[in-house]
Structure 1
Amino acid sequence: MHRPTLSILSAAILLAWPQVAAAEDKLTVYTYESFTSEWGPGPQVEKAFEAECGCDLEFVSVADGVALLNRLRLEGGRSDADIVLGLDTNLTAEAKAGGFFVPHGVSTEALTLPGGWSDDTFVPFDYGYFAVIYDTEAIAKPPSSMEAFLDGDNGKIAIQDPRTSTPGLGLMLWIRKLYGDNAPEAYARLSERVLTVTAGWSESYGLFTAGEVPMVLSYTTSPAYHMIAEGTERYRAATFEEGHYMQVEVAGITKKGADNPHAARFLAFMISPAFQDIIPETNWMLPVAPTSEPLDPAFGKLVEPARALLFTPEEVAENRKAWVDEWLRAMSK
């Protein structure tokens, strides 16, 4: 009497088995759009890791690092992400507090990141410094300090919104680090220099390269792209004597990813030469671990900040909302 039932159950199990196996052989990584673009590191990373793991690496992209954190909050415990790649240290304390991540368990002894690394939840994959990038054909004498930039009259700049963009947040924190409680006055001065505020980096940098604005908030490493990919030194970073704010980009394993054996493997791969070799000339940032070959000589021509400015993740988490509100009030006057 039970044989037909057993046969039906057996058939159902056999039909379901390929789907279970497929799920176990898939790794879903949330990241930002420029990482997954055809010119970004994503395509090369996907090919290299899939060859190593024999699995399917799927990227899901949003606009920026801030948007990644916002998406995790919206999805709550229902996120499909195994890995989230593209938050930075200005957001990690908030991400930890949200309960989205688990300890990574990956050795980070090989890291060469300035200042070292000791976080058990996130692993860095690149770093850089924010900078005002200017067009030498439009600006002959760039500002040599934040103070000179805020008081300058040599053209407008495109920046990003700190509510939606990690570079935009970085600029706000850069000014806050330099001016402290006097930051609102500095923001008000900045507002006189701003042509437009975009949601993300890509939009503002596109305006800059299209000649719509002579300056843009980006990274000290951005000129390397133009030197290597376009063979031009037209676009350069202004050196600020007070120092430049540092950004460290990280990845972490979600609670869902804790059950995926490929997740920890991906983070270990991420700080290996196979991944780090890809970063400098696709994400146009600096590697956090040794590469198999020296960087292109163009990287030796870049601005080297006199000081690396940085708030702790905890300081940003405690103050970010109040500081952003302060920024919005000053910038809207």
Structure 2
Amino acid sequence: MLPRRLSQLTAVAVTGLFTAGCTLIGGGDGGDDDASSATTVTLATHDSFAVPQRVLDDFESRSGIRVEVLNQGDAGALANKLVLTKANPVADVAYGIDSTFASRTLAENVFAPYDPPAATEGPQRYALDDAGDHGSGGDGARLTAVDVGDVCVNIDTEWFASRDMPAPRTFADLARPRYSELLVTPSPATSSPGLAFLLATVADRGEDGWQDYWRKLKDGGAQVVSGWSEAYTQEFSGSSGNGPRPIVVSYASSPAAEIGDDGTPRTEALLETCYRQVEYAGVLSGTDRPDEARRVVDFLLSPEFQRTVPENMYVYPARSDIELPGSWQRAAPLPDDPAQLPADEVSEGREQWIEQWRALYEG
């Protein structure tokens, strides 16, 4: 996901939100001798990576692997860094490459093939390249899905109810005159969720129609800001910022952070506007610790880690056998049928679409 993550929206208590270059050492009974004999594996990831310390300690204690987390900004910055350093990789394993940038890393052969045994528990649904024999632990897919974080339009339901005004439901609704001056979105040129929203409109309207749709949004006074944090926490009326606009581009998971004292969510994700973003992990091709790196990927797919991702990183686990927290089941169910463009189509069209959007909206 990062200014694109709800973990930056709310003061949810997270034990183990790590900063760049922080070494994470297991807390087993072996003390300093165990720590000094552990093999260090560097995990390159985005700035929103978080895991409870007890979960990480348990993995390190059992595996004899010490995990060093190297934060690299958002998903785009992470992908760029891995491509630029592929001949001399900065890490052994990476997590947080999302589906809008994954095709670039695959084309550049940044990752080595590895089929984690747990891929059969749901992550194979999001495979991007040949996966081979899932669960074999041998050659196969180079990237394995770890979590899902769908980008969706969100609305402030109380705002619409207080004005006895029907809320929008679809892309078509957002462009109607009655919703003029109500939408705020992060820029697709500078924001991952903004780019996902642009891709959603391309998927919905097609190559021949998405620019006309954005002209209607512009004519209707849709506001574009630099990033998700500004859009959600400053301009959106349904968040703590109490901004002026009741419609915002955010995440399917966002309403889980906006539950009132009565247990009712104050916001709603419009599930007909969602675009699927999947985050992947993989072993870097140039690592000299491939076996240990694979075990870190296995850890990211383990039930112990997967259970933590909703309330620590505000994304959905890729494993299908992990139950969502009760509040998520009520307020933030995973969308059933989100839009999604093929990875190669995104790779081919992304820069052109962004430049066309710039000319249309900023020109």
TMscore range, shorter length: 0.7 to 0.9
Gaps of 5+ in 1: 1-20
TM superposition shift of 1:176: 0.3
Alignment of 1:179-198 (within 5 A): 179-180=205-206, 181-191=208-218, 192-198=220-226
Specify which of 137, 146, 159 is matched with residue 171 of structure 2.
146
In structure 2, how many angstroms separate the alpha carbons of the residues matched to 1:229 and 1:43? 29
**One-letter amino acid of the counterpart of residue 242, structure 2:** G
In structure 2, how many angstroms separate the alpha carbons of the residues matched to 1:304 and 1:142? 21
TM-score, with structure 2 as normaliser: 0.74
Alignment of 1:1-333 (within 5 A): 25-36=39-50, 41=51, 43=53, 46-113=56-123, 115=125, 117=127, 119=131, 120-140=141-161, 141-151=166-176, 152-153=178-179, 155-180=181-206, 181-191=208-218, 192-199=220-227, 201-207=228-234, 208=236, 209=239, 210-212=241-243, 213-227=245-259, 231=263, 233-240=265-272, 244-257=274-287, 259-290=289-320, 295-302=325-332, 305=335, 307-333=337-363
2:169 alignment partner, SS class: coil
In structure 2, how many angstroms separate the alpha carbons of the residues matched to 1:289 and 1:223? 22
In structure 2, how many angstroms separate the alpha carbons of the residues matched to 1:69 and 1:25? 25
TM-score, with structure 1 as normaliser: 0.80
Q: Number of residue pairs matched?
A: 307
Q: Which has the larger radius of gyration?
A: 1
**One-letter amino acid of the counterpart of residue 60, structure 2:** E
Moved more, 100-109 or 169-178: 100-109
Cα distance change on mapping 1:45 and 1:167 into 2, 3 Å: farther
> Relative CO higher for 1 or 2, CA cutoff 8 Å, sep ≥ 6?
1
**One-letter amino acid of the counterpart of residue 286, structure 1:** Y
In structure 2, how many angstroms separate the alpha carbons of the residues matched to 1:224 and 1:249? 20
Cα distance change on mapping 1:43 and 1:142 into 2, 3 Å: farther
* 1:166-193: CA deviation from partner (whole Å, max 9, x where unpaired): 3222111100011112111112223344
Gaps of 5+ in 2: 1-34, 132-140
In structure 1, how many angstroms separate the alpha carbons of the residues matched to 2:296 and 2:214? 40
* 1:211-243: CA deviation from partner (whole Å, max 9, x where unpaired): 224332111121123339995511221243xx5
In structure 2, how many angstroms separate the alpha carbons of the residues matched to 1:230 and 1:74? 50
Structure 2 contact 52–308 (Cα < 8 Å) conserved: no
Question: Could you tell me which residue of structure 2 aligns to residue 18 of structure 1?
Answer: none
Cα distance change on mapping 1:45 and 1:326 into 2, 3 Å: farther
